[in-house]
Amino acid sequence: MAPLSSPNELQKRGIYTFETLEASLGEEINYIIDGLLTDRSINILAGDSGIGKTPLCLTLALCIAAGIPFLGMQVPRPRRVLYCDAESSRVAFHGVVSTLSRYLRLKSVPDNFHVWSPNWDTSLRGIDYASALFQKAEWNGFQPEVIFVDPLRVFFPEADLKRDVALAVLKRMRRINEGAAMWTIVHHTRKPSVDERPPPIEDNPHTWFHEVAGQHAIVNHVDTRLGVEATPHRDASDLTMGGFVRMLGPISPLYLTRSYNEDGEPQGYMRASSLDLLVPDYRTAFHQLPPPGDTFTFKMASDTLGKSDSSANNMLKRFKSVGAIKQVPGGYTRLH
């Protein structure tokens, strides 16, 4: 048997020891949205048609371009954004972006924010949408850092239907600009029958994503899966966003409510924060916990709820999501 090459020789060929792998990591994860999205990642945002996925994604894109918080989550620095839209007219797109920018209190739409639509691009001349999109993303004169694809099925219809095509698309995305770009793909859920609606995304995100339309290779091979569902049954929220991050697990659900201007027109989203978002058992347990300023433990919360540890853990996640508690040394404390 030939002698093993040195760790440096192995690394030149893309093979790492744990030590050389650790040395290659850098000082920290390079977050685009703290705790949610990183650079060099591919992500999906899925939801039913007509519930407001595009305005929500545009809010995300504008926050990234401007370097301002998104729904309370920090954006470490501004990034060059390319939003690829295949469904909106120029007038409609301009109007939504203008409204969202005012709502976000931006002086103007950031110079870092760019849009491209194959429907407006007169230079295509027979080039299919997928090829044209990759041309824009790979162009050395631009090189966007963050790319939104809205929606998947228009730009990559075969990826929606064929597993091998879906995997090829994801592979090419990861190699764009040496893998430096972050991608977010907007996708639809399938139309369920009345008798087979999935569980709420806040309760079981894994099962919820089984309802995403088309090839599950797209869902299964991305880094962060975000799902958005309408929650008209809740008094204090219009949308619930949940999902999970690869290797890290489920994210705490975000409860969102729409903000309206003086004329009653929607102008953006805000994060809902109300005990009304909790199920009755959780509301009752919350008021039985020690008052604000006092510390309570996980066991105290579990005993108060009177159910399993997994139910108590889920309850505490919901309390955090609505801003009702925070973690402190020795346990948790109520915020109101």
Q: Do residues 186 and 148 lie in contact, with contact meaning Cβ atoms separated by under 8 Å?
A: yes
pLDDT for 216-257, tens place per residue?
888 999 999 999 999 876 656 889 999 989 888 888 888 898
Both tokens of 186, joined, read 């907007």
Task: Count CB neighbours of 148 within 10 A.
Answer: 24
> Which residues are bridge partners to 81 per DSSP?
113, 146
Distance CA 190, CA 216 (A): 12
Domain limit, last residue, from 272, 290, 310: 272
Number of domains in the chain: 2
What kind and span of H or E run contains 228? Answer: strand 224-230
**Band (1; pLDDT cuts 50, 70, 90):** low
Q: What distance lies between CA 84 and its chain's CA centroid?
A: 17
Q: Are residues 162 and 289 in the same domain?
A: no
Distance CA 16, CA 24 (A): 9
Ranked by mean pLDDT, which of 30-44, 94-108, 313-327 comes out on top? 94-108
Q: Are residues 211 and 280 in the same domain?
A: no
The answer as to whether 2 is a domain residue is no
For residue 78, the domain's CATH number is 3.40.50.300
The answer as to whether 12 is a domain residue is no
Q: Are residues 90 and 222 in the same domain?
A: yes
The pLDDT value recorded for residue 125 is 78
Distance CA 47, CA 44 (A): 10
Q: Are residues 318 and 195 in the same domain?
A: no
Q: Which residues contact 41 (CB under 8 A, 6 or more apart)?
A: 182, 183, 222, 223, 224
Selection from 151, 263, 255, 149 nearest residue 213 by Cα: 151
Per DSSP, 253 falls in state P
In 53-201, beta strands by DSSP E: 81-85, 113-116, 146-150, 182-188
The answer as to whether 195 is a domain residue is yes
Strand 239-245 to 224-230 pairing = antiparallel
What residue has token string 């008798």? 195
For residue 301, the domain's CATH number is 1.10.10
Q: Are residues 154 and 238 in the same domain?
A: yes
The answer as to whether 256 is a domain residue is yes
The pLDDT value recorded for residue 64 is 98
Q: Are residues 286 and 266 in the same domain?
A: no
What kind and span of H or E run contains 269? Answer: strand 266-271
pLDDT for 263-315, tens place per residue?
788 889 988 777 777 778 888 999 899 988 899 999 999 999 998 888 888 88
The answer as to whether 197 is a domain residue is yes
What residue has token string 């002698």? 3
Q: What is the pTM of this model?
A: 0.81
The pLDDT value recorded for residue 336 is 74
The answer as to whether 165 is a domain residue is yes
Q: Are residues 143 and 252 in the same domain?
A: yes
Q: Are residues 236 and 283 in the same domain?
A: no
Higher pLDDT, 265 or 80: 80
The answer as to whether 174 is a domain residue is yes
Instruction: Please report, for residues 80, 81, 118, 270, 287, the alpha-carbon distance to residue 67 in angstroms, rounded to integers and kept in the order given.
Output: 10, 11, 27, 17, 38
Lowest mean pLDDT among 3-12, 39-48, 125-134: 3-12
Q: Do residues 32 and 79 lie in contact, with contact meaning Cβ atoms separated by under 8 Å?
A: yes
Domain limit, last residue, from 272, 301, 323: 272
What kind and span of H or E run contains 218? Answer: helix 216-220
pLDDT for 159-210, tens place per residue?
888 999 999 999 999 988 677 799 999 999 987 665 667 788 888 888 899 8
3 state DSSP class of 227: strand
Per DSSP, 197 falls in state P
Q: What angle do CA 293, 299, 300 make, to 5 degrees?
A: 45
Q: Are residues 288 and 154 in the same domain?
A: no
52-90 in b/e form (b: 16+ CB < 10 A) is: bbbbbbbbbbbbbbbeeebbebebeebbbbbbbbbebee
Q: Are residues 253 and 210 in the same domain?
A: yes
Q: Are residues 216 and 283 in the same domain?
A: no
Q: Are residues 72 and 99 in the same domain?
A: yes
Domain limit, last residue, from 272, 296, 323: 272
217-246 in b/e form (b: 16+ CB < 10 A) is: bbbebbbbbbbbbebeebeebbbbbbbbbe
Distance CA 214, CA 187 (A): 9
The pLDDT value recorded for residue 20 is 86
Both tokens of 7, joined, read 């760790």
**pLDDT above 90 (res 137):** yes
**pLDDT above 60 (res 93):** yes
Distance CA 252, CA 232 (A): 20
User: Which percentage of the chain shows pLDDT scores above 90?
Assistant: 49
The answer as to whether 23 is a domain residue is no
Structural domain range at position 302: 276-334
pLDDT for 35-45, tens place per residue?
899 988 999 99
